[in-house]
Amino acid sequence: MLKYKMLIGGEWVEALSGKTYRAINPATGEEAAEIPLAGSEDIDRAVEAAQQAFPIWSKKSQAERSDLIWKMAGLLKEHEEEINRIEVLDHGTPIKLARIQRHISSMNLEYAAQASRTLMGSALPYSAHTMSCIQREPIGVCALIIPWNSPLMMVTSKMGACLATGNTCIIKPSAIDSMVTLKLAEILSDLDIPAGVINVVTGPGGTVGESLAAHPGVRFISFTGSSETGKRIMSVASGTLKRTQMELGGKNPFIVLEDAEIKKAAQRGVASSCNNTGMVCASPGRYYVHQRIYDEFIQEYLQGMKKIKVGDPWDEQTDMGPVVSAEHRERVEGYIRSGVEEGAKLLLGGKRPDQPPLDKGYFVMPAVFSEVRPHMKIYCEEIFGPVACFTRFSSDDEVIDMANDNIYGLCASVWTQDTARGMRLVERINAGVVAINSDRFVSSETPWGGFKESGFGKENSVFGLEEYTQLKLLVMDNN
């Protein structure tokens, strides 16, 4: 079994209490690692280390910071196989998906290194005798609270933007899968980064996360996770008026019009619903299919879903691995039961595999429901698992009303061969990211973030970098 320590002030340390917890391999249910269980005194140490490092790191030139972040991306590439192995062990990620996520993670760091070099200031024409300029300055110590569904991509997106703009950070990975973040920090320790610029503390959100949110030395929190947890972090953080950036839940409409290319839309829907075992905030939450093609589309969708291979994450042919934990499997299964009990029609799957070796891990077969109604839990709530929910509609106005009738507003897609009609629809959808004939929303160059209870602020792109800065206006009168 692997044993890890936390990174605080450039040193690999145990929790001061000596307490640890065990990480579980979700594909086998076996213990995989022993990880320190941090307490409030460990958070104090990490904040102090980050505060001491801030003047050193923030005073480095942009070129120096960008160069180091570019080297981080290079180290990720050099250690690809090691990172992939930990990702599979830690999260149950299929190996072919782990490779894609590692590649995206390197791109996140490369983008932050490049884009930050043009970000930090601009001159303003104020008057003939006055010079004024806007400076973007780092905020200070940032807490980066990482979700469990795509830890490597999330930590590189947040850390790259945070460090590129001159801040120091305390990273808190999810207690469910902390290993890949700790391994990343270990790999990056080969670089000449001042001690305390990057700190990693481990433990549950209810203690470690709240300590970071409450700590007066932390000036900014970037959080990705559930809306409920986001609300709690905001409440705790309000005591010190620290800034927050929230990337929260989604129940995303996937709208298929009667003139859509049925095969293409169904294939993309299947891939999206099963990607990372459905544990993706951008996953389709509600399929709205026009009544003229409803039955045809579902049949095409079912054919595609039956081809998805659920299996050992190490198998190159595996499309979908386990969910992340026993607790989360029970949550997903609870939604499946509620769908049946409330009258939706279960067309496929939804059960645990009972044949070795999948009988020992946290596997659940993908489920497909038709005739889902607005009063049902599976219609309203984010499932965060491989469960597809189908509802029919008859008009554009009807489907827009249904799509917007939800507490979330993260992303949405419209599938049609009439681009003008598609544009009219996406302009009426209340979501932060919308697409026509695509569900590929996320890249290093494009902003990601939602409306309503899906949060606020942006990840990725130059807008994501700006989240980690504060504006200062400098005015000089030459009269």
Name residue 367's beta-bridge partners.
387
CB 220 within 8 A of CB 468: yes
For residue 373, how many other CB atoms are within 10 A of its CB? 12
Residue from 87, 110, 210, 247 carrying the catalytic annotation: 247
- List the one residue out of 228, 310, 232 whose CA is nearest residue 274: 310
281 is catalytic: yes
Q: How far apart are CA 65 and CA 77, in angstroms?
A: 19
CB 335 within 8 A of CB 323: no
Q: DSSP for 447-478?
A: -B--EETTEES-BSHHHHHHTTEEEEEEEEE-
Q: What backbone torsions phi and psi does residue 436 show, to the nearest 5 degrees?
A: -115, 120
Residue from 162, 274, 281, 389 carrying the catalytic annotation: 281
Position of tokens 């590189």?
A: 156
Position of tokens 């010190």?
A: 240
Element (H, E) at 474: strand 469-477
Q: Is the dihedral of CA 308, 310, 314, 315 positive or negative?
A: negative
- List the one residue out of 307, 319, 309, 302 whose CA is nearest residue 262: 302
Active site residues: 247, 281
